[in-house]
Structure 1
Amino acid sequence: MQSKCEDSLVSRSCNTPDTSSESIPRSGSHRLAEELLDKAGLRLDGRAPWDMRLNRPGVPERALSEGSLGLGEAYMDGDWDAEQLDEFFARLLRSGLADGVNPMAMLFHAARVKLLNLQNRKRAWQVGEQHYDLGSDFYASMLDPRMAYTCGYWREADNLAEAQDAKLDLICRKLRLEPGMRVLDIGCGWGSFMSYAAQHYGVECVGVTISRDQAEWARQRYAGLPLEFRLQDYRDVDEPFDHIVSIGMFEHVGRKNHRVYMETAARCLKDDGLFLLHTIGKNRRHSTTDRWIDKYIFPNGDLPSIGQIGDAVDGLFVVEDLHNFGADYDKTLMAWYDNFEAAWPRFAGQMGERFRRMWRYYLLSCAGAFRARDIQLWQWVLSKKGVVGGYQRVS
């Protein structure tokens, strides 16, 4: 689906302020930013579609002093643009330049994440209220017909709907679902997996979510299927299931709760069952959440590393399979972006231009991060005692 900008992917950012960059004075911060960006193959006010164009002064100062938070807020304010914002971030992150900007601000943020449990029972509901409760109509305009808000599987898919159905079928096959089984979905969203599994594999599902909008929408949409949607914290689930799945929820659990999360899954999984964990992940254990993403998109989010997940499952699960298809998230996010831009006229009056720039920045910066392989998408298949004879990989 094409955006309102132009047919080409080159014009990923429209409605740019008309302020001429030629009138913007060159400060010391401006010259330093030029030197840094040059190392990533980027230019200030260059001609390439991924170059940064300054609309107002002060952007280099904000970016250098506040890091990702200052850069993102300056974009939301209309102070700068890039025609291909996704590629701007892909090049920036691939170069590693962003790691060293404003270390003091990052140290404070890292200390906050390390010392506080930002995903305790009270705070865990904040992301549902701020992000997922924006309205089902809004998300329906951006997502596929099943409302899957996680990475699609594009190996043989030609469009977003096919990629999401392929992902859901892949999960069902990895779990070896059979009719009559009872499956727990931790962080069920709008019920995309549960509906697909019930319709195509004949299973019963229980899903837990912290979003009231999601739970109400799913109950109405799938009233005729053997599905139960609960507004419930995952830590309160305590009953047996044949299999467990969690798709795009572990990113909200937080490192201080990883072990409790895995203990909950182990408690609820039957001895011969499988647990599939689908999660975004980071490359380094000690890195922290992007400050802009934490403030505006996913409050209290915390991407896990392979080592952190390994620590959490230690002694509880056997890792049967680990599958990385993070590059597919780039395609998924770009498809969401095109849908968002096409649908924006319906929401412009309600949400306003600053929200549009915020959401564009979110989708395209994340697409660039996956393109740069700065973050990953993993599917883990876990068993409690090991699959007899070994687990055969499904692809």
Structure 2
Amino acid sequence: MHPVRERIERLLASADVRVDGERAWDMQVHDGRLAARLLAGGSLALGDAYMDGWWDAGSLDGLLARLLAGGIDRRAPGLADARDAVLARLVNMQSRRRSRTVGERHYDLGNAFYREMLGRSMVYSCAYWRDREGLPLDDLDAAQDAKLDLVCRKLGLKPGMRVLDIGCGWGAALKYAAERHGVSGVGVTISAEQAHFARALCAGLPVDIRLQDYRDLRGERFDRVFSIGMFEHVGLRNYRSYFELVRAVLPRDGLFLLHSIGGNVSQRRTDPWIARHIFPNSMLPSARQIAQACEGLLVIEDWHGFGADYDRTLQAWRANIESAWERLPARYDMRFRRMWRYYLAASMAGFRTRRIQLWQVLMSPDGIPGGIVVPR
């Protein structure tokens, strides 16, 4: 056996993955050049080679979960990992100029595509399954409603309040809050496709959807602020100014809810494959980075983690999109499908192995007198 292939096979075996094995999570190799490519390219090469059809697995998420649990990504980093780490230290990857890239390349893939994957709710963030014991996997819409209900209850929304949604997506959260709790609101997004859809969704409601960078929100006041699945695009260099803006738009008795994926270890950038193909210029905050950035600006009232629910949410999204490929335009070709399968499976693996988390952090400007009982 060639030494390079032998080294890769030993690495995989240490995570209980066999090359051309018979188990669902074993790697089926279709191109003999794979071992050399993986040794040189690390996690970026692993994903790219899958997109190119060089390997497969019956259970892609099962294979990737074993690699993460075995720490293979840390033991065999590629050149792209080192390059991205240096770049993140030198450059603000989430500057105003760069911030629109993720909107154009990811969120503007097409509303028809996201409708198929996300379902009726059109909510592109972790659903909340915990308060619905036995809720079937295909009842994604009910689980997303439960998440939106949770957000509104934590914020104590009441009729007449004015709320701000930073990174409003397709508008579902503002629609839910306006219809169920009688609030008015403003939502900002950097995705033209999202803004178009959200305006139609919220038509007739006291909701203003703006195609706008959050940093341009100045001189306005809101009773409550929430941000669901957007903080991952803010970037470490901008965390402090982000929380300064939140503090500036809230009254002393206001509340802010941050719903974000998070990492166990402080980093400055994301996985190189995710950065190249899925979420350019993104990064996951650590608990330490969030706490340091809001220190002296906002008081943390509650920190709620339910990252295991994201694995279940991603499985529902995968089931939806896999049943819809043939109904979608030809531009979502096989390479795109393999890219999307890898993205969803890698995300499942991250949450399943607890390498990444989902947090809802409730904050107030000066602390709620007497404290607050936070719903679950």
SS in 1 for 2:96: coil
Post-superposition Cα deviations, 1:225-269, rounded to whole Å, max 9, x if no partner, equal: 111100011011021100000000000000010111111111111
1:114 aligns with 2:95: no
Shift of 1:104: 4.5
Shift of 1:81: 0.3
2: CA distance, partners of 1:102 / 1:160: 36
Counterparts in 2 of 1:103 and 1:344: CA distance versus 1, 3 Å? closer
Partner of 1:137: 112
Are the counterparts in 2 of residues 62 and 70 from structure 1 also a CA contact under 8 Å?
Answer: yes
Partner of 2:207: 227
1: CA distance, partners of 2:23 / 2:269: 31
Are the counterparts in 2 of residues 144 and 164 from structure 1 also a CA contact under 8 Å?
Answer: no
Task: Say which is worse superposed, 46-55 or 280-289, in terms of deviation.
Answer: 280-289
Are the counterparts in 2 of residues 235 and 261 from structure 1 also a CA contact under 8 Å?
Answer: yes
Match 1:105 to one of 59, 73, 80: 80
1: CA distance, partners of 2:187 / 2:216: 12
Match 1:321 to one of 265, 280, 302: 302
Shift of 1:102: 2.9
1:373 aligns with 2:348: no
1:183 aligns with 2:158: no
Matches within 5 A, 1:177-256: 177-238=157-218, 239-256=220-237
SS in 1 for 2:331: helix
Match 2:18 to one of 43, 55, 59: 43
Task: Say which is worse superposed, 171-180 or 38-47, in terms of deviation.
Answer: 38-47
Shift of 1:335: 0.5
1: CA distance, partners of 2:183 / 2:107: 26
1:82 aligns with 2:57: yes
Partner of 2:332: 351
1: CA distance, partners of 2:63 / 2:233: 27
1: CA distance, partners of 2:277 / 2:80: 17
2: CA distance, partners of 1:142 / 1:104: 33
In structure 2, stretches of 5+ residues that fail to align are none
1:392 aligns with 2:373: yes
2: CA distance, partners of 1:114 / 1:275: 29
SS in 2 for 1:391: coil
1:68 aligns with 2:43: yes
In structure 1, stretches of 5+ residues that fail to align are 1-25
2: CA distance, partners of 1:105 / 1:208: 33
Shift of 1:57: 1.3
Letter in 2 for 1:327: A
Shift of 1:103: 5.4
Shift of 1:112: 0.6
Partner of 1:299: 280
Identity %: 52
Counterparts in 2 of 1:168 and 1:282: CA distance versus 1, 3 Å? same
Counterparts in 2 of 1:94 and 1:115: CA distance versus 1, 3 Å? same
Post-superposition Cα deviations, 1:103-142, rounded to whole Å, max 9, x if no partner, equal: 5432221111111101000100000000000110110001
Post-superposition Cα deviations, 1:279-299, rounded to whole Å, max 9, x if no partner, equal: 000000136310000000000
Are the counterparts in 2 of residues 141 and 339 from structure 1 also a CA contact under 8 Å?
Answer: yes
1: CA distance, partners of 2:3 / 2:213: 50
Shift of 1:346: 1.4
Are the counterparts in 1 of residues 42 and 79 from structure 2 also a CA contact under 8 Å?
Answer: no
Post-superposition Cα deviations, 1:346-384, rounded to whole Å, max 9, x if no partner, equal: 126222110010011111111111101110000000001
SS in 1 for 2:50: helix
2: CA distance, partners of 1:53 / 1:259: 46
The TM-score normalised by the length of structure 1 is 0.92
Aligned length: 370
Match 1:332 to one of 298, 313, 316: 313
The TM-score normalised by the length of structure 2 is 0.96
